[in-house]
Amino acid sequence: MRIRIVGAGAMGRGIAQWAAVAGHTVELCDVRTKAVTAAVDFVRSMLERAVQKGRMTSGDAAAALERLVPLDDPWAPGPEVELVVEAVREDLDTKAEVFGKLEEALPDSTVFATNTSSLSVTRIAASLRDPARLAGLHFFNPVPLMRIVEVVPGAATRPGIPPALTALVESCGHRAVTVADTPGFLVNHAGRGLVTEALALLEESVADAAGIDRIARDVLGLRMGPFELMDLTGLDVTAAVIDSIWQGFRHEDRLRPSYLTPNRVTAGLHGRKTGQGWFAYGPDAPDAGEPPVTGDAGRPVFVAGGEGAEGLRNSLRAGGATVESGPEPSEEALVLVPVWGTTVAAAVASQGLPAARSFGVDPLPPAGRRRVLAVTPAADPSAARDARAVLARAPEGGEPHAVSVVRDTAGSVAQRLLASVVSVAASIAERSLATPADIDLAVTTGLGYPTGPLAWGDRIGTTRLLDLQRALHATTGDPRYRPTRWLTERAQLGLSLTDPGTPPEDCA
């Protein structure tokens, strides 16, 4: 296939490398001639690096470079061009102008694709004489390494174009997911579940940014915490995406932005690229270490009833802790309360527990060796330090647990993050914006989560997850936590969250 790529920036050159390596002839062009030269040099260096690392032969690299054709004029006639991929700046007027000129220069049979990450494919196509020839083909940076591409049909796109683009993408070694033309498409939309909830936790002073990141990594198993991720992406970019998706979905509560981001963006605290974001970067950046464990690890504990109580008792005993077994705690005992969507404060009130020495423990099994201790405003600091020391105890022959101390909140940190991730993904499935299989594929490949959000919900259990979301909604009164219909129905019917279900049209 002969492919013309318009735009020789980071995305354009990445797409050019990907397509040329896969065996296609690639015309690379830009209104800036120097940008094309620089892009070809960059691709050459990437191919040479791949050869040095043994990822391809020198012959294959030379052949790929031979297939990369620098083009001086983006609007040159191209009777053999079968596909155009536009990768210019994110501006509707600019993209419309580019496609308008291409429509004059190229055959009617040439398929047009836009690499837009945030603009409506339908609006871009509307500027063409034939809007049916255009679809979205959204790559992620760096293109050769991010092996996922969103295929986005516009409202007028010819039915045969999306499957043809999917076949092309997968023949070149990437995975393709078909997504409705909606704000954020799929990966950026699904990613809002983690970052918006992390910002809400920070707003409420449940934990600081470093503390939330530790829990995200060590309890949920994410490769990066949400604040590390925002600093890597750039808070200016993240905040703009959060706002545009929230506005695009008409202020959906589940996607609500935070008041924390606008001032930080204005102040230039964008993350790694500015040297300061949620964290400081550079040789003089302070070490965000955790405080040492200083409490009395030998103090007796009483585990109050609730989900995960017996499992916590057994785990504590395995670490050598003294666990009381009576109906009530002794005068010296620390009281540990496994909380599932509720608060320690509510347990203190309903069960008559001693407020100064009652603490919450998240019953989610940690991906690493981290436990989470929740403290209320009534907690005795000395008792809290002792509770942390008890939870840090290692099983015989094992390593001590890391213990995060957070403010008491409904569901604690990990549960709220997980519930939000699954809810946003379930709402995407509920609206039929993408299939359940594509949602999980896109999130694991595009965002690097340890498992797809819908499969993650199945691992927790649909009934248990529904209980969590109902408890969060009831405890907070915030509509952002209301359970989705997708989850509620599947919990009631005994279906998996990854099950697309029977469509009504199959029953007509």
Q: What is the pLDDT of residue 371?
A: 95
396 pLDDT higher than 80? no
Residue 324 and residue 318 in contact, taking contact as beta carbons nearer than 8 Å: no
Q: How confident is the model at residue 505 (pLDDT cuts 50, 70, 90)?
A: confident
**What is the H or E stretch that residue 192 is in?**
helix 192-203
274 pLDDT higher than 90? yes
Mean pLDDT on 34-41:
96
Q: What is the pLDDT of residue 394?
A: 86
Residue 66 DSSP SS3: helix
Q: What is the pLDDT of residue 285?
A: 84
Q: SS in 3 state form for 263-301?
A: HHHHCCCCEHHHCECCCECCCCCCCCCCCCCCCCCCCCE
The whole-angstrom separation of Cα 491 and Cα 231 is 37
Mean pLDDT on 37-45:
97
For residue 142, is the peptide bond before it cis, meaning its omega torsion is within 30 degrees of 0? yes
In the chain, % of residues over pLDDT 70:
100
pLDDT tens string 102-131: 999 999 999 999 999 989 999 999 999 999
pLDDT tens string 190-233: 999 999 999 999 999 999 999 999 999 999 999 999 999 999 99
CA distances to 41, 99, 449, 490, 494 from 3, rounded to whole Å, are: 19, 15, 32, 44, 47
Read off the amino acid at residue 432.
S
Q: Mean pLDDT, the chain, as a whole number?
A: 95
Q: How confident is the model at residue 289 (pLDDT cuts 50, 70, 90)?
A: confident
DSSP string, 295-350: S-TTS-EEEPSSTTHHHHHHHHHHTT--B--SSS--SS-EEEEE-SSS-HHHHHHH
The whole-angstrom separation of Cα 25 and Cα 19 is 8
The whole-angstrom separation of Cα 331 and Cα 354 is 9
Beta bridge partners of 135: 113, 153
pLDDT tens string 122-155: 999 999 999 999 999 999 999 999 999 999 999 9
Give φ, ψ of 182 to 5 degrees: -130, 165
Give φ, ψ of 170 to 5 degrees: -75, -30
Mean pLDDT on 384-393:
97
- Residues annotated as part of the active site: 117, 138, 150, 188
Q: What is the pLDDT of residue 398?
A: 83
pLDDT tens string 56-103: 999 999 999 999 999 999 999 999 999 999 999 999 999 999 999 999
453 pLDDT higher than 90? yes
288 pLDDT higher than 80? no
Mean pLDDT on 319-340:
94
Q: How confident is the model at residue 53 (pLDDT cuts 50, 70, 90)?
A: very high
508 pLDDT higher than 90? no
CA distances to 90, 95, 111, 141, 383 from 165, rounded to whole Å, are: 22, 20, 9, 19, 61
pLDDT tens string 150-197: 999 999 999 999 999 999 999 999 999 999 999 999 999 999 999 999
